[in-house]
Amino acid sequence: MYAINKMDLVSYKQDRYDKVCKQIKKLTAEYAFQSYIIPVSATAGDNITSPSKHMPWYKGDTLLHYLETVDVQMEEAQKWLCNAGAEGVSSQQGFSWGSQGRSRLESYL
Protein backbone atom coordinates (compact mmCIF):
# COMPACT_ATOMS: atom_id res chain seq x y z
CA MET A 1 0.00 0.00 0.00
CA TYR A 2 1.30 3.42 -0.94
CA ALA A 3 -0.03 6.79 0.14
CA ILE A 4 0.97 9.60 -2.20
CA ASN A 5 1.10 12.50 0.23
CA LYS A 6 1.16 16.28 -0.29
CA MET A 7 -1.38 16.26 -3.10
CA ASP A 8 -2.38 19.74 -1.91
CA LEU A 9 1.04 21.06 -3.02
CA VAL A 10 0.31 20.01 -6.62
CA SER A 11 -3.24 21.39 -6.61
CA TYR A 12 -4.69 17.87 -6.31
CA LYS A 13 -3.96 17.21 -10.01
CA GLN A 14 -4.76 13.75 -11.31
CA ASP A 15 -1.95 13.83 -13.88
CA ARG A 16 0.60 14.22 -11.07
CA TYR A 17 -0.97 11.26 -9.23
CA ASP A 18 -0.89 9.18 -12.44
CA LYS A 19 2.80 10.00 -12.97
CA VAL A 20 3.74 8.88 -9.46
CA CYS A 21 1.60 5.73 -9.86
CA LYS A 22 3.58 4.79 -12.97
CA GLN A 23 6.83 5.21 -11.03
CA ILE A 24 5.56 3.05 -8.17
CA LYS A 25 4.37 0.33 -10.55
CA LYS A 26 7.76 0.33 -12.27
CA LEU A 27 9.53 0.06 -8.90
CA THR A 28 7.31 -2.80 -7.70
CA ALA A 29 7.08 -4.73 -10.99
CA GLU A 30 9.50 -7.40 -9.76
CA TYR A 31 7.33 -8.28 -6.76
CA ALA A 32 4.43 -10.70 -6.92
CA PHE A 33 1.87 -8.61 -5.07
CA GLN A 34 -0.66 -5.96 -5.97
CA SER A 35 -0.01 -2.36 -4.97
CA TYR A 36 -2.86 -0.20 -3.75
CA ILE A 37 -2.15 3.52 -4.20
CA ILE A 38 -4.06 6.28 -2.40
CA PRO A 39 -3.59 10.02 -3.05
CA VAL A 40 -3.67 11.95 0.24
CA SER A 41 -2.99 15.27 1.86
CA ALA A 42 -2.26 14.47 5.49
CA THR A 43 -2.18 18.14 6.49
CA ALA A 44 -5.60 18.86 4.99
CA GLY A 45 -7.02 15.42 5.85
CA ASP A 46 -7.85 14.55 2.24
CA ASN A 47 -8.56 10.81 1.77
CA ILE A 48 -7.32 10.06 5.28
CA THR A 49 -10.61 9.31 7.08
CA SER A 50 -13.13 10.63 4.55
CA PRO A 51 -13.16 11.07 0.76
CA SER A 52 -11.56 14.25 -0.53
CA LYS A 53 -13.70 16.96 -2.08
CA HIS A 54 -10.54 18.14 -3.86
CA MET A 55 -9.98 14.86 -5.72
CA PRO A 56 -13.34 13.81 -7.21
CA TRP A 57 -11.42 11.82 -9.84
CA TYR A 58 -10.25 9.34 -7.15
CA LYS A 59 -12.91 6.67 -6.49
CA GLY A 60 -10.97 4.31 -4.19
CA ASP A 61 -10.85 3.81 -0.45
CA THR A 62 -9.64 6.31 2.12
CA LEU A 63 -6.40 5.45 3.89
CA LEU A 64 -8.17 4.54 7.15
CA HIS A 65 -10.80 2.38 5.44
CA TYR A 66 -8.14 0.52 3.47
CA LEU A 67 -6.03 -0.15 6.57
CA GLU A 68 -9.05 -1.34 8.53
CA THR A 69 -10.25 -3.73 5.82
CA VAL A 70 -7.14 -5.00 4.04
CA ASP A 71 -6.74 -8.79 4.12
CA VAL A 72 -3.45 -9.48 5.84
CA GLN A 73 -2.44 -13.10 5.59
CA MET A 74 0.22 -14.22 8.04
CA GLU A 75 1.80 -16.49 5.38
CA GLU A 76 2.55 -13.52 3.14
CA ALA A 77 3.74 -11.35 6.03
CA GLN A 78 6.22 -14.04 7.06
CA LYS A 79 7.89 -14.24 3.65
CA TRP A 80 9.46 -10.79 3.58
CA LEU A 81 8.80 -7.11 3.89
CA CYS A 82 9.80 -4.46 1.41
CA ASN A 83 10.74 -0.90 2.35
CA ALA A 84 10.89 1.55 -0.55
CA GLY A 85 11.71 5.18 0.04
CA ALA A 86 13.80 8.14 -0.95
CA GLU A 87 17.50 7.93 -0.25
CA GLY A 88 19.06 11.07 1.20
CA VAL A 89 22.35 12.32 -0.19
CA SER A 90 24.63 14.62 1.74
CA SER A 91 26.95 17.06 0.00
CA GLN A 92 28.98 20.18 0.78
CA GLN A 93 26.00 22.27 -0.37
CA GLY A 94 23.75 20.56 2.20
CA PHE A 95 21.30 17.72 2.28
CA SER A 96 19.37 16.78 -0.86
CA TRP A 97 17.21 13.90 -1.99
CA GLY A 98 18.68 11.34 -4.30
CA SER A 99 17.42 8.32 -6.17
CA GLN A 100 14.85 5.85 -4.95
CA GLY A 101 16.34 3.41 -2.51
CA ARG A 102 14.93 0.04 -1.63
CA SER A 103 15.81 -2.74 0.71
CA ARG A 104 14.44 -6.15 1.50
CA LEU A 105 13.99 -7.07 5.12
CA GLU A 106 13.68 -10.69 6.13
CA SER A 107 10.78 -11.23 8.49
CA TYR A 108 11.30 -13.23 11.64
CA LEU A 109 7.63 -13.53 12.68
Query: For residue 34, what pLDDT is reported?
Result: 74
Query: For residue 95, what pLDDT is reported?
Result: 39
CA distance 80 to 109: 10
Query: For residue 81, what pLDDT is reported?
Result: 52
Query: For residue 57, what pLDDT is reported?
Result: 97
Beta strands in 1-109 (DSSP E): 2-4, 37-39, 80-91, 94-106
Q: Report whether 65 contacts 43 (CB < 8 A).
A: no
Query: For residue 30, what pLDDT is reported?
Result: 79
Q: What does pTM read for this prediction? A: 0.67
CA distance 12 to 15: 9
> Could you say which residues of the chain have pLDDT below 50?
80, 83-109
Query: For residue 72, what pLDDT is reported?
Result: 74
E strand or H helix at 5, and its extent?
Answer: none
Pairing of strands 2-4, 37-39: parallel
